[in-house]
A and B are shown apart, each in its own frame.
Chain A
Amino acid sequence: VARTSHWIMRRLSHLDGILLTLVLLLLGIGLAVVASASGQSAARISGHLVNIGLALSLMVVMANVPPHLLSKVGPPLYAAGLVLLIGVALFGEVRNGSRRWLSLGIMAFQPSELLKLALPLMLAWYFHRNEGALRAKHFLAGGVLLLVPVLLILRQPDLGTAMMIGASGFYLLFFAGLPWKAILGGAALGTASLPVVWGLMHDYQQRRVLTLLDPTSDPLGDGYHIIQSTIAIGSGGLFGKGWMEGTQNQLDFIPERTTDFIFAVFGEEFGYLGAILLVVLYLAIVARGLIIAARAPTLFGRLMAATLSLNLFTYVFVNMGMVSGILPVVGVPLPLMSYGGTALITLLLGVGILMSVATHRQLNKT
């Protein structure tokens, strides 16, 4: 018994106390909001608890995997992800007009989810291998590694995920030292090619952008989500209407309110003060992640920690921006708050990696 508890203590010693506290706080808030948004549905709450339990366990596991082992997983995981994406393109299941799902008999699976971790791992591994001798060709190669999965996901089509994965890859290249000239040149090129991109966009994607610019143009269709969620947030005011007291929430006006639009429920019931608290908590996670990155002994650890931190906040920004009506509606959940197992697992695996980088410092140094 003593040995078992000692083993458990050693596993848990790899958890970063600050990150764990912040994560548990956000998960707690998320649980409360899911409870309110689901009308205290026992099934939703227990489902969410199971997801949280599973994801936290995987986070603990991940925190115990030393970064040098983790870096080796990058290339095979990336390769597997690419194969699955090609598989989706060939045999994928069409749901809601896009081919994203791969049926695995008993369950369906979105391979793009895998790339959210596989791409940064792959790139970090690649740059780590070439540490100290990084040249333009490495960044070019990194760019190719980034573009292949992003283009495959764009084809599905899944603009939101493609952008998120593209962003994570870009952050990694950026932290690896992608020259500013390349960044600015790319930005200029990107801006110039906007009309072309617009032309390549699917009707529904164009509509979402147009709806964002003027939600009232289609108040019962695409605009409905944005209109109702901004009403919810705006009507929350400074202090909010109180937990379980949001009328937009309780009376079913907010669509997808346990998942992608959970921030509308939060904003309505907890107000602007609640929103500030939430943003501060996310910022704290990012700050902690950046500190971990700064202290990380290896390039792999630095790149992973910095990228995962920025990536998390990108999810927060895209989700809150969409729910409060400043970004188009793309299917991105709010980290640590939204109901949904896959996203939560991916996210806490990422936090696990951060913890691993944080706690394997001394071990690696010696």
Chain B
Amino acid sequence: MSVATPLKNLDRELAGFRRRLKVGGAFVVLLATALLARGFYLQIVQHDYYIQRAESNRISLVPTAPNRGLIVDRKNRILAENYSAYTLELTRAQTQDMEATLAEVGKLIEITPGQLRRFRRVLSESHEFETVPLKSKLTDEEVAILAANRYRLPGVEVKARLFRNYQAGPGMAHVVGFIGRINDSDLKHLREEGRDRNYKGSVHIGKTGLEQSYETLLHGRTGFDQMETEASGRAVRMLSRIPPVPGKDLRLYLDVELQAVAEHAFGDYRGGLVAIDPQTGGVLALVSKPGFDPNLFVDGIDPETWKELNESPSRPMVNRVLRGIYPPGSTIKPLMALAGLELGLRKPSDTIFDPGYFSLPNSRHQYRDWKSGGHGVVDLRRSISQSCDVYYYRLAVDMGIDRMHDYLAKFGLGEETGIDLDGESPGLLPSRDWKQRRWKKPWYPGETVIAGIGQGYNLTTPLQLAVATAMIANGGKRVEPRLVQAVRDPLTHVWQALPVAVRGQLALKPSNLEVVRQGMMDVMRPGGTAAAAAAGAAYTMAGKTGTAQVVGIQQGARYDASRVARQNRDHALFMGFAPVENPKIVVAVLVENGGHGGSTAAPIARAVFDYYLTGKRPGNMKLEASGGAD
């Protein structure tokens, strides 16, 4: 027994062991099946998904930003160009302590408080991984100093970048505009328009002016290098390359020297001037004073300077030609005259007697003429040259507001001109409907009276006046003003002219047009309201002066410019063209608080006519030498 039991036990244990070997084997097969099932799932079922993941791991698209197109004036003088410079850039995610790093950098090279403020503002608007420029246009010495200290300044980089330079100065700021860093709202717009992919690798986008309105042409197409990339991000080799397509160059109708002459002619005055070619609508000069330095914005403006520009009472950031809306005043009279003739309400020879005021029937209210005592007997031609208010009070009442609105609308008043800049104001051409909609009030007869001399609700931009004047000059062709005359593909170097845009043709009887033109020529002749501004000109010119009230004048009171503070003085207006026989240039000028159109606005227009038609510059004006391109 004592021997048999262990032996029996041994047999039983061995049999048990063999059973357990089978269990163990089955266990292993189970585990192996689990592994193979997982492998099947990953490598067969999900293969497509993972191969795509592996490819996106492997391949990275490195964008190459295209060179931005240049902007040149009609004589190929450069207004906006690119240059390469070294900038000092910081990446927040890579610096251990931004403040310490800034302090350290400040010890190495000079960082101005303005640069620091600007940097902090941009930094606060940027993502952690974005590189933010601290100082651009580094000198060779600064580059060397920073390179030598790079090892102890993580997150600090010196990079060669393309910059935009606006060398034409503050005077061109309202035309060319500026580019600035792409911000969140720009990015949102780009995404909505599906253009964000084209901005991978771009830092800047056009913010105002032509830089904004021609953004798609100027920017070009971003290139992509398909790189095989290691996990660390290091590119191993290039798989394929789509080269960037540089942006198109723009050539303007505008002449920087003409622009400078116009600016100079303004002197200290604020205001706007636009000169257009009446045949093409090409903008020859576009001045909005004061201007500003667009270069301040390219890499983010520092908050102080921005505040100063934005809050200045002289509003340098507002383009007065496009967005400044002013009562057209007497400049509306030639348009009213044409309306009267074309609608058959007046003949050129019809006269009125102007006693110095006008009253509506059954009303004692007197609408005064600007000339006390009146102009006496006035025909249509004289009504323009003398700017007789009473003539137009009567005409307005005869015409009625509805016809007045409809006819003036044909000159483009109350509507955007369609210039190739963004942010244009449509102004305001009042009508019965408009008043009902806007104010829920009926139209009063008295409002028609003052609308006849461009007062009341009427608001126009200098650009609208220029387009309307061009219609008188060119015989009724309504051109759309254009800054850009031609576009050049930088690869082919061929300038391609952009088409002239015409909105329509207003049928005008030549004899009607002629008499209005004669009236406008009389304005510039002895006895006319702008005669002084035209003295001694070697060519003929036609024009019309105007004043737009800033402060209302009480019944019975008189306006005396010398007794009114400058900011309350009337705005001076002038519109005109020259030479009359073959009009080449139309000018509309607004001089804020300039008083009377004949004495401040017309001489500015004259200076522009002179330079454009004869090459004569104002005697006291020096022009900076500007370089040409091609």
The stretch that binds B, out of A75-83, A193-201, A202-210, A269-277, is A269-277
In-complex Cβ contact of A321 among B38, B51, B228 (8 A) = B38
Cβ B25 vs Cβ A290 within 8 A = yes
**Distance in angstroms between the alpha carbons of A132 and B42 in the assembled complex:** 48
Cβ B42 vs Cβ A177 within 8 A = no
Considering only residues 38-74 of chain B, those with a C-beta below 8 Å from chain A are 38-40, 42-44, 46-47, 49-51, 53-55, 57-58
Interface check B230, CB cutoff 8 A: yes
Considering only residues 134-175 of chain A, those with a C-beta below 8 Å from chain B are 134, 171, 174-175
Cβ A317 vs Cβ B43 within 8 A = no
The stretch that binds B, out of A52-60, A235-243, A349-357, is A235-243
Contact with A along B209-236 (1 / 0, CB 8 A): 0000000000000000000111110001
**Distance in angstroms between the alpha carbons of A174 and B17 in the assembled complex:** 9
Contact with B along A334-345 (1 / 0, CB 8 A): 000000000000
Take A234-B50, A253-B231 as given contacts and tell me if A134 and B24 are in contact as well, using a CB distance cutoff of 8 Å: no
Take A131-B10, A294-B21 as given contacts and tell me if A238 and B27 are in contact as well, using a CB distance cutoff of 8 Å: no
Interface check B360, CB cutoff 8 A: no
Interface check A36, CB cutoff 8 A: no
B202: min CB distance to chain A, Å: 27
**Distance in angstroms between the alpha carbons of A183 and B595 in the assembled complex:** 107
Q: Which residue of A lies closest to B56 (CB)?
A: A231
**Distance in angstroms between the alpha carbons of A293 and B231 in the assembled complex:** 47
Cβ A248 vs Cβ B54 within 8 A = yes
**Which residues of the other chain, B, contact A236 by a CB distance below 8 angstroms?**
43
Contact with B along A274-309 (1 / 0, CB 8 A): 011001001100110010011000010010001001
Cβ B24 vs Cβ A230 within 8 A = no
Task: Give how many A residues have a beta carbon under 8 Å from the other chain's beta carbons.
Answer: 51
Task: Give how many B residues have a beta carbon under 8 Å from the other chain's beta carbons.
Answer: 42
In-complex Cβ contact of B6 among A133, A174, A247, A320 (8 A) = A133
**Which residues of the other chain, A, contact B9 by a CB distance below 8 angstroms?**
132-134
**Distance in angstroms between the alpha carbons of A294 and B17 in the assembled complex:** 8
Cβ B7 vs Cβ A132 within 8 A = yes
In-complex Cβ contact of A251 among B17, B47, B58 (8 A) = B58
**Distance in angstroms between the alpha carbons of A175 and B231 in the assembled complex:** 47
Cβ B35 vs Cβ A320 within 8 A = yes
**Which residues of the other chain, A, contact B42 by a CB distance below 8 angstroms?**
230, 233-234, 267, 324-325
Take A234-B42, A238-B44, A283-B29 as given contacts and tell me if A247 and B20 are in contact as well, using a CB distance cutoff of 8 Å: no
Interface check B18, CB cutoff 8 A: yes
Contact with A along B1-28 (1 / 0, CB 8 A): 0000011011001001110110011011
Interface check B32, CB cutoff 8 A: yes
Cβ A306 vs Cβ B24 within 8 A = yes
Cβ B13 vs Cβ A275 within 8 A = no
Cβ B24 vs Cβ A235 within 8 A = no
**Distance in angstroms between the alpha carbons of A239 and B236 in the assembled complex:** 26
In-complex Cβ contact of A175 among B17, B31, B40, B43 (8 A) = B17
Cβ B230 vs Cβ A177 within 8 A = no
Q: Which residue of B lies closest to A287 (CB)?
A: B25
**Which residues of the other chain, B, contact A238 by a CB distance below 8 angstroms?**
43-44, 47
**Distance in angstroms between the alpha carbons of A314 and B32 in the assembled complex:** 10
**Which residues of the other chain, A, contact B147 by a CB distance below 8 angstroms?**
none
**Which residues of the other chain, B, contact A283 by a CB distance below 8 angstroms?**
28-29, 32
Cβ A317 vs Cβ B35 within 8 A = yes
Cβ A233 vs Cβ B24 within 8 A = no
**Distance in angstroms between the alpha carbons of A299 and B14 in the assembled complex:** 8
Cβ A272 vs Cβ B24 within 8 A = no
Interface check B108, CB cutoff 8 A: no
Cβ B44 vs Cβ A237 within 8 A = yes
**Distance in angstroms between the alpha carbons of A239 and B27 in the assembled complex:** 28
Cβ A235 vs Cβ B21 within 8 A = no
Residue among A228, A236, A268, A316 with the highest chain B CB neighbour number at 10 A: A236
A209: min CB distance to chain B, Å: 18
**Which residues of the other chain, B, contact A235 by a CB distance below 8 angstroms?**
47, 50-51, 53-55
A330: min CB distance to chain B, Å: 16
Interface check A232, CB cutoff 8 A: yes
Q: Which residue of A lies closest to B57 (CB)?
A: A253
**Which residues of the other chain, B, contact A109 by a CB distance below 8 angstroms?**
none
**Which residues of the other chain, A, contact B21 by a CB distance below 8 angstroms?**
175, 290, 293-294, 306
Take A133-B6, A276-B36 as given contacts and tell me if A251 and B57 are in contact as well, using a CB distance cutoff of 8 Å: yes
In-complex Cβ contact of A272 among B34, B40, B49 (8 A) = B40
Cβ B20 vs Cβ A175 within 8 A = yes
In-complex Cβ contact of A132 among B6, B17, B28, B34 (8 A) = B6
Cβ B39 vs Cβ A267 within 8 A = yes
B239: min CB distance to chain A, Å: 11
Cβ B17 vs Cβ A286 within 8 A = no
**Which residues of the other chain, A, contact B10 by a CB distance below 8 angstroms?**
131-132
B115: min CB distance to chain A, Å: 34
Interface check A326, CB cutoff 8 A: yes
Interface check A252, CB cutoff 8 A: yes
Residue among A177, A231, A237, A321 with the highest chain B CB neighbour number at 10 A: A231
**Which residues of the other chain, A, contact B232 by a CB distance below 8 angstroms?**
252
B14: min CB distance to chain A, Å: 8
Interface check A122, CB cutoff 8 A: no
Interface check A102, CB cutoff 8 A: no
**Which residues of the other chain, A, contact B18 by a CB distance below 8 angstroms?**
294
Considering only residues 242-270 of chain B, those with a C-beta below 8 Å from chain A are none
Cβ A275 vs Cβ B39 within 8 A = yes
A239: min CB distance to chain B, Å: 10
**Which residues of the other chain, A, contact B58 by a CB distance below 8 angstroms?**
247-248, 251, 253
Cβ A251 vs Cβ B43 within 8 A = no
Q: Which residue of A lies closest to B49 (CB)?
A: A234
**Which residues of the other chain, B, contact A267 by a CB distance below 8 angstroms?**
39, 42-43
**Distance in angstroms between the alpha carbons of A223 and B449 in the assembled complex:** 80
**Distance in angstroms between the alpha carbons of A141 and B275 in the assembled complex:** 107
**Distance in angstroms between the alpha carbons of A251 and B29 in the assembled complex:** 35
**Distance in angstroms between the alpha carbons of A175 and B16 in the assembled complex:** 8
Interface check A262, CB cutoff 8 A: no
Take A275-B36, A324-B42 as given contacts and tell me if A231 and B57 are in contact as well, using a CB distance cutoff of 8 Å: yes
B17: min CB distance to chain A, Å: 6
**Distance in angstroms between the alpha carbons of A272 and B40 in the assembled complex:** 7
**Which residues of the other chain, B, contact A252 by a CB distance below 8 angstroms?**
230-232
**Distance in angstroms between the alpha carbons of A326 and B39 in the assembled complex:** 11
**Which residues of the other chain, B, contact A313 by a CB distance below 8 angstroms?**
28, 31-32
B549: min CB distance to chain A, Å: 67
Cβ B13 vs Cβ A247 within 8 A = no
Q: Which residue of B lies closest to A273 (CB)?
A: B43
Interface check A35, CB cutoff 8 A: no
Interface check A310, CB cutoff 8 A: yes
**Which residues of the other chain, A, contact B36 by a CB distance below 8 angstroms?**
275-276, 279
**Distance in angstroms between the alpha carbons of A290 and B26 in the assembled complex:** 11
**Which residues of the other chain, A, contact B230 by a CB distance below 8 angstroms?**
251-252
B36: min CB distance to chain A, Å: 6
| A293-B21, A317-B31 known, 19 other contacts, Cβ within 8 Å | A131-B13, A132-B6, A174-B20, A175-B24, A230-B42, A231-B53, A234-B43, A235-B51, A235-B53, A253-B57, A267-B43, A272-B44, A279-B36, A283-B28, A290-B21, A310-B27, A314-B31, A320-B35, A324-B38
Q: What are 23 A-B pairs at a CB distance below 8 A?
A: A131-B10, A132-B9, A175-B17, A177-B17, A234-B42, A234-B47, A234-B54, A235-B53, A237-B47, A238-B43, A251-B236, A253-B54, A253-B57, A267-B43, A271-B43, A275-B39, A283-B29, A290-B21, A306-B21, A306-B24, A310-B28, A317-B31, A324-B39
A interface residues (Cβ-Cβ under 8 A, vs B): 131-134, 171, 174-175, 177, 228, 230-238, 247-248, 251-253, 267-268, 271-272, 275-276, 279, 282-283, 286-287, 290, 293-294, 299, 302, 306, 309-310, 313-314, 316-317, 320-321, 324-326
B interface residues (Cβ-Cβ under 8 A, vs A): 6-7, 9-10, 13, 16-18, 20-21, 24-25, 27-29, 31-32, 34-36, 38-40, 42-44, 46-47, 49-51, 53-55, 57-58, 228-232, 236
Q: Which 8 pairs, one residue from A and one from B, show the smallest C-beta to C-beta distance? A: A234-B50, A235-B54, A132-B6, A272-B43, A234-B42, A252-B231, A235-B50, A132-B9
